[in-house]
Amino acid sequence: MKKYWFLLLAALLGGATCIFAKDTLATWKAPAGVALNSDFTVKVRLQDGVWHTLSSYLIKVDEVRDTRHYVENASMVIFDFIGKVEVAVTYNLGEVQTAKVRPLSYDIPFQIDGNTVTFTLEHPRNLSVEVNGDIFHNLHLFTGSPERTIPDKDNPEVIYFGPGIHTVENGELRVPSGKTVYLAGGAVLMGRVLIENVHDVKLLGRGIIDHSIKGGIRIANSRDVYVEGIVATQCATGGSENVTIRNVKSISYYGWGDGMNVFASNNVLFDGVFCRNSDDCTTVYGTRLGFEGGCRNITMQNSTLWADVAHPIFIGIHGNSKAPEVLEDLNYINIDILDHREKQVDYQGCMAINAGDNNLIRNVHFEDIRVENFRQGQLVNLRIFYNEKYCTAPGRGIENVLFKNISYTGENAELSIIEGYDEKRKVKNIRFENLKINGKLIDDNMPDKPRWYKTSDMARIYVGPHVENIVFTSDVAQSQRRFVHPGITYTQGDLDRMKAMVEARQEPYYSTFLKLKESSYSSLDAPVVNRGEQIKEGRFNATIGVDGRRAHDLALLWHLTGEEAYARKAVEYLNANSYYTNTSSRGTGPLDNGKIYLLIDAAEMMRDYSGWTRQDQQRFKDMLVYPGYSNTENYSAKYANYLDDTKNGVTFYWNIYNFDAARFGNQGLFAARSMMAMAIYLDNEIMYDRAYRYLLGMKHRKDDLPYPSGPAISSDQPIHVSPTMIDYKLLQRKNDIQDYGYDEQLQYYIYPNGQCQESSRDQGHVLAGLHNYVAIAEMAWNQGDSLYSSLDNRLLLGLEWSYRYNLSSIQSYKKQETPWEPTGLTKDMNEVTFDNGKYLQIKSRSGRWESVNISSHGRGDVAGTGGTREMALAHYAVRSGLPAEKYTWLQRYRDYMIERYGCENWGVAPNWFYEWTGWGTLTKRLTPWMAGDPVTFSTGKRVSGLHQLPSTILAADYDYYCISENPEGHTYHNIGTVRGNEYRPDGAVELQKIDNKYVVVQVEDGEWMNYTVNIPKSGAYAVYLTYSANSSSHVAMASDQGLEISSSIPSSKKWKETKLGELSLSAGACVLRLRVDKAGQKLCLSAFRLEKVERDR
């Protein structure tokens, strides 16, 4: 204790980094003249130490009774500590009958003895201590960790306020660029702090901006701002970027007393804040109060919110309806909401997104939010609305909102609302995972939900018109995601479909298969070399590159032919690469180690091959993550050596786990691609989420290692300037913003106009990065996640932009007879669109490069980067069913490659063999109805695989569609919209268990379902349907080959099989569509079968 105070005194006098004793307590006396409150006497001590009486400040709060506002006097104390402290709170106005210490999630035990409440703290917390149910005369108890660095008050770059009351001229302290403002504990500033039109500013300390000062902190049109530890009424950020607000306490009591507003800003982090406000606690708006533009990458985490009026969290009402804006990538993680009190229905919602002023709001992530028993309002409110009081137009849309691990405990919540505006202004893709209402898990498959109820009814949420794809799901064992196997590049349904087409000699499948079989990489005679324990820098292509190509192609041939010689040879290559304990971390380590992708894909295809022993397969798995996998300890920092290959002690995972924050985006994408493949193969959900969440700009899982922090700091002067790009020297990466996000993230690799981050470098690397993204999106799709559609199909836009530039230089097209060129240059992201063709000049997130103009280097050399054209086209044209004009250049690019080379392999350039799975005209060519994956279900588990004839196909086993997207119109058409049931989680087709099997019920006119089957031999097939109905129906069976049959079927109250007719079908994989043109009363569909019609010769 004495050691701490000596060092702290030295720090206060001269500026130093403090070194603390194991147990430390820091308190500050309030200066004379500051308003105090005697309602409580608060003492604190280190365990069994000397008690210290704290200064109890008077703090004002707002109480609304009926519709009128009343200012009430509450209390506040502040201290810092390390170790364990005891706190004694004595209530001076009478006896303590009841008490609460909130947030309740902290579960802090306390004792009541007369008029004193005592408890122990082991970690810094921001708390409310409430006596006898009084929340307006409560004690706000704010604690923190002692400051590690105290600025030197004699430093000319420091504006220092020691203990005492301080006034400033005109009641405003304007902070210049490069300055640090320090408010020591016990300091009270009588004026606003204005951080306006500046950069590199800090506001630090344990002091207070006096409670009489409205709008205590204002950050405007500034960048690189850091605020920590201060108490103020408000802290608003507008027109700014790279702002961090940490452990700031905001309490207001007057009208329009919003706590922490964000206007037209990017990259803003609130961490560990406490907001109790007389208006919205935290908001995100577009254009407002002189600030212009949208918002991106706003995060609030580890915080506590208390709205005496209006919303705890409010997003979206303000913008610029004449120049519509986007509010995106908003994250609210690990938050306690203590109260919400709002009588006006228009302004209710603990988590409220109200899109106005033509705003588009997307990619909003609420996770680990605990809502206590608030007084009045709604739990969630998602609306596109036109509030004429504040808006000039309704919003454009709300999409891609995740509510994960949200819990509400209480009885005062009113009906929540989710509602769109019209057919063009919708709310869509809303996902609730593990939503708990008073302890009850709300799930589309919850056992006590009547089947005619909407799941939202169970959560007391009104879902109004113009709302699409709301999912309620749960996973009690969050770490036990049920991965689909195989499920990296191909599902079993994919492999079965290929095999059926090859056996039927359908084109272009068969000719591509022959080229695969004839490839030198498919040779059964090539020698296999044991690669040993180390891969040195520069040797990745010659080891895992070559062997990965071979193993992948051989594994694919085994699935297509059934010839075990291919399987044995594939396993030889896998085993030869399973002994690594050292793969170089030097140079482009993430890219180089990311080349393990094809070997992992081969391993995934061979995982169930009996000839690959369990022991050998386990050695391969262990090798991938050597010296072991951890989500809590950084083995890279512990065992990697970035200077000396001989001393390196990690392999692939630890060289890719943090992507590549220092280089161009494609290099981090090589890492992300292999990380996701590795996660699927290893059944590791945390690893999978590490890749998926990072690419979409989300924060790291709380049970995983953090992502790289930032921002990057580079030299002021360039080290190289070319006509297309400026190079800077990277000096350091700050730790101001955790999970900062670098160039491989989707939002930064492909800009909103479709331009790629590397377009000023050369075109080969552009296409390499884009094709990596396609491969990653395909893996995610197979596992139930849709990266393809993220950010409004941003990946497709990137493909279209780059293909247009490259392909138009070597081919002429209608409306594009000359090579396409950018139409102009701009530094304003709001000025660039795909259609206007302007080129965005922007600095990379890595800080190392700034784009000046597009590079023509490698333009038109599209042959060297391949292997994902068919994959991307299959998704956007067939699975998504987008209009053809959306993928014009993707279609042209695919067609050009087929016309020139006959098929899609892995690329014709000699150095691209290790990059892509390739052979897309065999593996990913889909017919127009092949939007889904053929499946059956066993004990609730999806089993991928083509329906084989002869067999009986259950009507309930229609083709599967990605769980995160809406299957309607893709694999079925159904009038009902409630998705999921106990048999299968994806679709809205109504199923019921009758006679020990699941059948399709509640069938209505016009509904249909798709089934992908293998037709073993061309010819006529009799189609038989098993059904029951109380009146006659009319049913059709059609195929994607262009023919259909239809028939009237009579009523039958018992199960009846009837022949619909005979359908001519060609051999190979085929999609059949069972369509009900007229549904009889209580029509139920059980199954159908096809029987080959043998004609007499």
Per-residue pLDDT, 906:
62
Q: Peptide bond preceding 590: is omega within 30 degrees of 0, i.e. cis?
A: no
Strand partners, 820: none
Per-residue pLDDT, 862:
65
CA dist., res. 564 & res. 561, Å (int): 9
Residue with tokens 């306390």: 110
Strand, coil or helix: what is 550?
helix
Please say if the pLDDT value at position 983 is more than 60: yes
Assign domain 935-1092 to its CATH superfamily: Galactose-binding domain-like (2.60.120.260)
CA dist., res. 742 & res. 805, Å (int): 25
CA dist., res. 682 & res. 688, Å (int): 10
Please say if the pLDDT value at position 445 is more than 90: no
Q: Tally the C-alpha atoms within 13 A of residue 663's C-alpha that lie toward its C-beta.
A: 17
Please say if the pLDDT value at position 13 is more than 60: no
CA dihedral 499, 500, 506, 508 (to 10 degrees): -40
Could you tell me which residue, 5 or 199, shows the higher pLDDT? 199
Per-residue pLDDT, 149:
86
CA 722 to chain centre: 36
Neighbours of 777 (CB within 10 A): 25
Could you tell me which residue, 122 or 148, shows the higher pLDDT? 122
Contact 319, 285 (CB under 8 A): yes
* Domain spanning 497-511+533-636+655-697+705-923: CATH 1.10.1060: no
Per-residue pLDDT, 863:
55
Among residues 997, 924, 927, the alpha carbon closest in space to that of 957 is found at: 997
Contact 511, 903 (CB under 8 A): yes
* Domain spanning 2-144: CATH 3.30.1540.20: no
CA 333 to chain centre: 12
Q: Tally the C-alpha atoms within 13 A of residue 961's C-alpha that lie toward its C-beta.
A: 29
What are the tokens at 685? 């959900």
CA 416 to chain centre: 24
Residue with tokens 């935290």: 282
Residue with tokens 């996640």: 785
Per-residue pLDDT, 736:
86
Please say if the pLDDT value at position 21 is more than 70: no
- Interval 249-278: pLDDT, tens: 999 999 999 999 999 999 999 999 999 999
438's CB contacts (< 8 A; 6+ apart) are 408, 409, 410, 411
- Give the DSSP H/E element, type plus range, for residue 126: strand 126-131
Contact 184, 207 (CB under 8 A): yes
CATH for 254-473 is 2.160.20.10
Please say if the pLDDT value at position 14 is more than 60: no
Q: Classify strands 40-46 and 85-91 as parallel, antiparallel or unpaired.
A: antiparallel
The number of residues in the chain equals 1097
Q: What is the DSSP string of 498-548?
A: HHHHHHTT-TTHHHHHHHHHHSGGG-SSS------SEE-TT-TIIIIIHHH
Contact 1072, 1041 (CB under 8 A): no
Q: Classify strands 582-583 and 710-714 as parallel, antiparallel or unpaired.
A: unpaired
Among residues 302, 285, 304, the alpha carbon closest in space to that of 293 is found at: 285
Strand, coil or helix: what is 204?
strand
Please say if the pLDDT value at position 884 is more than 50: yes
What are the tokens at 465? 């018109």
Please say if the pLDDT value at position 910 is more than 50: no
> What's the average model confidence in pLDDT over 5-27?
55
CA dist., res. 33 & res. 30, Å (int): 9
Q: How confident is the model at residue 982 (pLDDT cuts 50, 70, 90)?
A: confident
Neighbours of 556 (CB within 10 A): 28
Q: Classify strands 266-271 and 187-196 as parallel, antiparallel or unpaired.
A: unpaired
Q: What is the DSSP string of 228-275?
A: ES-EES-EEEES-EEEEEES-EEE--STT--SEEEES-EEEEEES-EE
Per-residue pLDDT, 909:
43
Beta strand spans in 910-1007 (E)? 935-938, 941-944, 947-948, 952-954, 972-973, 991-994, 997-1000
CA dist., res. 402 & res. 60, Å (int): 35
Query: Where exactly are the structural domains of the chain?
Result: 2-144, 158-233, 254-473, 497-511+533-636+655-697+705-923, 935-1092
- Give the DSSP H/E element, type plus range, for residue 685: helix 685-695
CA dist., res. 267 & res. 298, Å (int): 6
CA dist., res. 967 & res. 53, Å (int): 64
734's CB contacts (< 8 A; 6+ apart) are 709, 710, 711, 712, 713
CA dist., res. 303 & res. 214, Å (int): 22
What are the tokens at 941? 């588990």
- Interval 698-757: pLDDT, tens: 999 988 999 999 999 999 999 999 999 999 999 998 888 999 999 999 999 999 999 999
> What's the average model confidence in pLDDT over 828-854?
96
Among residues 677, 762, 581, 704, the alpha carbon closest in space to that of 333 is found at: 704
Per-residue pLDDT, 1097:
58
- How far, CA to CA in Å, does 630 sit from each of 624, 657, 702, 708? 13, 11, 14, 17
Helices 685-695 & 763-782 angle (0-180, nearest 10): 130
Could you tell me which residue, 595 or 47, shows the higher pLDDT? 595
Strand partners, 530: none
Q: What is the DSSP string of 602-639?
A: HHHHHTT-TTS-HHHHHHHHHHHTTT---SSS-HHHHH
Residue with tokens 């391993």: 603
pTM: 0.68
What's the chain's average pLDDT?
A: 93
Classify the C-alpha dihedral 130-131-133-137 as positive or negative. Answer: negative
Cα 445-381-252 angle, rounded to 5 deg: 135
Strand, coil or helix: what is 904?
coil
Classify the C-alpha dihedral 624-628-630-636 as positive or negative. Answer: negative
What is the C-alpha end-to-end distance of the chain, expressed in Å? 103
Please say if the pLDDT value at position 941 is more than 90: no
Please say if the pLDDT value at position 479 is more than 50: no
Region of 182 on the Ramachandran plot (φ > 0 left; ψ -120 to 50 alpha; else beta): beta
Strand partners, 960: 933
Per-residue pLDDT, 496:
96
Q: How deeply is 812 buried, as exposed, middle or buried, from its count of CB atoms within 10 A (0-12, 13-18, 19+)?
A: exposed
